[in-house]
A and B are shown apart, each in its own frame.
Chain A
Amino acid sequence: NAGVTQTPKFQVLKTGQSMTLQCAQDMNHNSMYWYRQDPGMGLRLIYYSASEGTTDKGEVPNGYNVSRLNKREFSLRLESAAPSQTSVYFCASSETSISGELFFGEGSRLTVL
């Protein structure tokens, strides 16, 4: 039982390059989330999908796009990476978007030069 799987685990980009972070969950959860974690800033919500077919902006959505491909998969895309997007990105899922019991992946460490 893998839970929440994120790929890639590490990535180095140059400014202006694009990339997609992939996330998949095998718990049949309805809701999925993308957070970024920076020193001194805690976990900040980028985008979330309360259910398949819906996506909503979180606290820091600028520079990102998301796609809820199906119930299992939720991807995060950086169209033109900037050094300010250097961070650790966490995908999470939950059975519903109400109670908040999130299950997190191991994180994707992104460096933008």
Chain B
Amino acid sequence: QKEVEQDPGPLSVPEGAIVSLNCTYSNSAFQYFMWYRQYSRKGPELLMYTYSSGNKEDGRFTAQVDKSSKYISLFIRDSQPSDSATYLCAMSRPQAGTALIFGKGTTLSVSS
């Protein structure tokens, strides 16, 4: 079992829809949880960052972490065509010298 699992999609929704993206993980030592957004032919960019459990909201985006279930989510409200991208979850342990582990990414398409 890979440490981080993410459904690659693709996911297609109409403009204005609520989008839910999810990842599961197996390593209970993970403490830092992130969502990166990657536009076509570009490098990933950090979208949301959460330490340990709980929710974090930033505009139309909400990140949730449920450590008891080893499950993280990203919700996008009022989705826009500009949200069309690949979304990658990532996580790491609080240990110097380690590196991020990424999910495979979910490709989202928002149609107008």
A residues whose Cβ falls under 8 Å from a Cβ of B: 4, 33, 35, 40-45, 48, 50, 54, 56, 58, 90, 92, 96-107
B34 touches A101 (CB 8 A): yes
Given contacts A90-B44, A100-B92, A100-B100, 19 further A-B contacts (CB under 8 A): A4-B43, A33-B99, A40-B8, A42-B6, A42-B103, A43-B105, A50-B97, A54-B97, A96-B96, A97-B97, A97-B98, A98-B32, A98-B95, A99-B32, A100-B90, A100-B91, A101-B49, A102-B36, A103-B46
Among A35, A56, A98, A103, the one with the most B-chain Cβ atoms within 10 Å of its Cβ is A98
Q: How large is the interface on B (under 10, 10 to 19, 20 to 34, 35 or more residues)?
A: 20 to 34
In angstroms, Cα B10 to Cα A40, docked, is 11
B residues whose Cβ falls under 8 Å from a Cβ of A: 6, 8, 32, 34, 36, 41-46, 49, 88, 90-92, 94-105
In angstroms, Cα B88 to Cα A44, docked, is 12
